Amino acid sequence: MLPWLRDGHANPSGAYREAKRARAAIDRAREQVAALIGGDASEVVFTGGGTESVNTALHSLDHLTGSGNAVVSSIEHSAVLRCVEAMARGVSRMPVNVGGVLEMDALAEQLKVAAFVSMMMANNETGVIQPVSEFFQMAKAAGLPTHSDAIQAAGKIAIDVKALGVDMLSVSAHKFHGPKGVGALYVRGGLAFEPLLRGGGQESGRRSGTENTAGIVGMGVAAELALRHLRNDGATSISAMRDAFEAKVLGGLTGVTRNGDTTRRLPNTSHLSFVGCEAAGLLILLDEKNIACSAGSACMTGSQRPSHVQLAMGIPEPLAKSSLRFSFSRLNTMVDALMAADAVIAAVGRLRRVQGDGVGPVVVYSP
Amino acid sequence: MLPWLRDGHANPSGAYREAKRARAAIDRAREQVAALIGGDASEVVFTGGGTESVNTALHSLDHLTGSGNAVVSSIEHSAVLRCVEAMARGVSRMPVNVGGVLEMDALAEQLKVAAFVSMMMANNETGVIQPVSEFFQMAKAAGLPTHSDAIQAAGKIAIDVKALGVDMLSVSAHKFHGPKGVGALYVRGGLAFEPLLRGGGQESGRRSGTENTAGIVGMGVAAELALRHLRNDGATSISAMRDAFEAKVLGGLTGVTRNGDTTRRLPNTSHLSFVGCEAAGLLILLDEKNIACSAGSACMTGSQRPSHVQLAMGIPEPLAKSSLRFSFSRLNTMVDALMAADAVIAAVGRLRRVQGDGVGPVVVYSP
């Protein structure tokens, strides 16, 4: 990114050579992002981030479809939920089971009154991978346009938009070690589409605004590195760290719940509840040990409400407020993972000593 | 920006220390941008760029006002024009005079059927500064909410949102040497507002999406440097370069029109038409001499249509297609300006020799 931040100030829409060099760099990034999700470069629209991608996709679906509900899961990210709630149409919130997996039983019924569907590929709190393939197949069979929020999944598991048959799919660069402030929206070639941001007609009229060359180049390289990591079975090394972390925590403490169906989680995510420990207190103690984690998702931090994801999974409110999400990446080591587990064990112990022993029944919600 | 790109990856909404450091950096940038436009930090909403700022403002006005027209100038940037054209309401396009200055004669009449108004502070092709103060005064007297696209003006002339009495105002970082992919929207405290991007509720619910810490920090510093430059009478040194450039070009060539009212232009902009020279050809010849300029605006480059701004000024189509915009900044020197003039004189001469002498009547549209 640095050359583009330092000297590459040309407007990629300009007619001079430096502008064409910027254009070429953006085109290359478009190929790199397309490769990560299995799409064609012409189907990749760069945006200002994942939230803009999601809002753009849902805005387009809202404007181009007739009456009917927006069908989403009850555990979508707030970018999807707040967006569809603002529409002048009904919202069907599909339930999940105790493992945080989408329940498909009522789907056929819901699709009958639907205008379009949006389903996340993996949940951003629990990391649980959703049955999107079956879901989108049913939606397509019902003739409904589809969007997937793949922001949490991209770079962590393989994505193939063609195999999925999805019409639009959102990704965000900073979720796979790219820069903040840049994302992409896959828009299937030939799909009717209405832009959210209008103006100079950049991105083939699909997203106006002077292109963020440095950010886009950074996203492209991050996509290439993430794809290489995935192809080199990087997921296995990450899940090994995550699993070692969980084994040590679960072995060292009582009253810990591991949330989310462990047979279908992203390799990097661990979502744990600690009976008798307020998450807010744990965050402070862990921060002192340089462990940066979150209660629910960062987008929910500061909110006093328990996570809607956990409530949808049937986790009781007190336990939902005692939950932390830990994320691992290829920039971590096994030593990091084990040290994090030690820190968690110490912090929970310390907090329970302060707050009373707090050890209640251990509730296991997932296999 | 570099520390935030290299190590400052914390999500500013996180609860850990690194997140709070990012939050503090964003708060500082908010003060810096507020200072540039005379607003309060709490009134600054960071966005993914100028186009998003404009679309956000107009979307909010569209949703929160009843029936009536959107009143804009005929020379707005395409971000404003394409946005209001997509609305289910009429658009009043206010005319400009031959100098590219908004004509106020019909305004009182137009305001009677208006729902809201949006007026650019300075035009992005000619640099002509618009009579926004009088305009917004009349709009406020009529009880109408107001937005100003100040993207071209910010950092080049003083802006005081309080003195203007404007409700919303859009700026873009890369127009004053900040990074691409970040902008801001001033939203007057207490103004009814509806967000365009919904989700995690960042920016006090006014713009969701994980904050682009590096970009925002870069915008803040760029705003501070631009303000310092303005306070040190930097505009005078820039207009001196621009004026020397124009004097040399006008002295060295026949058949050159200087477009836009020279008594009220941004200090950095020169908009010239060269009789008998297609702009496309001039761009190529000037690029060979490392002069990066544009035909109209970069957002229009590649379009074969003549600029709507020039047509609104009554510039005939052939001359409109023979126009270039030159921009100067505090990073240029007087030597740059004079070398650019030499290059323009040589390029125009060369093109005219190839295309025939092409010297027609010299038309002067502005004082």
Chain B neighbours among A 53-72 (CB < 8 Å)? 54-55
Whether the full predicted model's pTM is greater than 0.90, yes or no, is yes
Q: Strands B256-258 and B269-274, how do they pair?
A: antiparallel
**Mutate: best of B23, B46, B51, B290, partner A, most A CBs <10 A:** B51
Q: How far is CA A97 from CA A108, A326, B111, in A?
A: 17, 22, 56
Q: In chain B, how long is the greatest CA-to-CA distance?
A: 70
Look up tokens 């912090």; give the residue.
Answer: A347
CB contact under 8 A, B86 and A210: no
Coil vs helix vs strand at B169: strand
State pLDDT tens for residues B48-83.
999 999 999 999 999 999 999 999 999 999 999 999
Residue B300 reports pLDDT greater than 70: no
Residues of chain A with pLDDT under 70: 297-304, 356-367
Write a three-state SS string for chain A. CHHHHHCCCCCCCCCCHHHHHHHHHHHHHHHHHHHHHCCCHHHEEEECCHHHHHHHHHHHHHHHCCCCEEEEECCCCHHHHHHHHCCCCCEEEECECCCCCECCCCHHHHHHCEEEEECCCECCCCCEECCHHHHHHHHHHCCCCEEEECCCCECCECCCHHHHCCCEEEEEHHHHCCCCCCEEEEECCCCCCCCCCCCCCCCCCCCCCCCCHHHHHHHHHHHHHHHHHHHCCHHHHHHHHHHHHHHHHHHHCCCEEECCCHHHECCCEEEEEECCCCHHHHHHHHHHCCCCCECCCHHHCCCCCCCHHHHHCCCCHHHHCCEEEEECCCCCCHHHHHHHHHHHHHHHHHHHHHHCCCCCCCCCCCC
CB contact under 8 A, A208 and B82: yes
Radius of gyration of chain B (CA): 21
Look up tokens 């991007």; give the residue.
Answer: B197
pLDDT at A299: 54
**CATH architecture of the domain formed by A2-230:** 3-Layer(aba) Sandwich (3.40)
Residue ranges of domains in chain A: 2-230, 234-355
**List A83, A277, A293, A299, catalytic entry:** A299
Give yes or no for a contact between A146 and A118, defined as CB atoms under 8 angstroms apart.
yes
CB contact under 8 A, B55 and A197: yes
pLDDT at B194: 98
**Mutate: best of B180, B204, B211, partner A, most A CBs <10 A:** B180
User: Is A299 one of the catalytic residues?
Assistant: yes
pLDDT at B367: 38
Total residue length of chain A: 367
Half-sphere exposure of B116 (CA within 13 A, CB side): 22
Chain A environment of B51 (Cβ under 8 Å): 197-200, 208-210
pLDDT at A358: 46
Residue B134 reports pLDDT greater than 70: yes
Coil vs helix vs strand at B70: strand
Q: Quick check: A19 contacting B, CB < 8 Å?
A: yes
pLDDT at A363: 43
Confidence of residue B366 (pLDDT cuts 50, 70, 90): very low
> Across chain B, where does the E strand assignment appear?
44-47, 69-73, 91-94, 114-118, 146-149, 168-172, 183-187, 256-258, 269-274, 323-327
Confidence of residue B301 (pLDDT cuts 50, 70, 90): low
Q: Which two tokens stand for residue A190?
A: 């030939």
Q: Quick check: B52 contacting A, CB < 8 Å?
A: yes
Confidence of residue B355 (pLDDT cuts 50, 70, 90): confident
Q: Quick check: B181 contacting A, CB < 8 Å?
A: yes
State pLDDT tens for residues B183-201.
999 999 999 999 999 999 9
Instruction: Chain A: give the shortest CA distance to residue B177, in Å.
Output: 9
Whose CA is closest to A207, among B181, B57, B61, B88? B181
Chain B environment of A17 (Cβ under 8 Å): 287
Mean pLDDT of the region B228-250 = 97
Chain B neighbours among A 103-162 (CB < 8 Å)? none
CB contact under 8 A, A198 and B284: no
In percent, the amount of chain B with pLDDT more than 90 equals 89
State pLDDT tens for residues B113-132.
999 999 999 999 999 999 99
State pLDDT tens for residues B1-52.
999 999 989 999 888 899 999 999 999 999 999 999 999 999 999 999 999 9
Whose CA is closest to B163, among B124, B134, B130, B197? B134
Give yes or no for a contact between A169 and A54, defined as CB atoms under 8 angstroms apart.
no
Whose CA is closest to A209, among B44, B303, B48? B48
Q: Quick check: A332 contacting B, CB < 8 Å?
A: no
Coil vs helix vs strand at B67: coil
Q: Quick check: B295 contacting A, CB < 8 Å?
A: yes
Q: Quick check: B292 contacting A, CB < 8 Å?
A: yes
Give the catalytic positions of B in this structure. 299
Chain B environment of A210 (Cβ under 8 Å): 49-51, 172, 174, 180, 298-299
Facing residue for B14 by CB, picked from A16, A174, A301: A301
Give yes or no for a contact between A272 and A324, defined as CB atoms under 8 angstroms apart.
yes
CB contact under 8 A, B210 and A83: no
Residue A330 neighbours by CB under 8 Å, 6+ apart = A177, A229, A234, A237, A238
CB contact under 8 A, A197 and B293: no
Tell me the pLDDT of chain B averaged across its residues.
Answer: 94
Answer yes or no: CATH 2.40.50.140 is held by domain A234-355: no
CB contact under 8 A, B209 and A51: yes
Residue B337 reports pLDDT greater than 50: yes
Residue B362 reports pLDDT greater than 70: no
Q: What is the ipTM of this complex?
A: 0.94
In percent, the amount of chain B with pLDDT more than 70 equals 94
Q: Quick check: B47 contacting A, CB < 8 Å?
A: yes
Facing residue for B79 by CB, picked from A198, A211, A299: A198
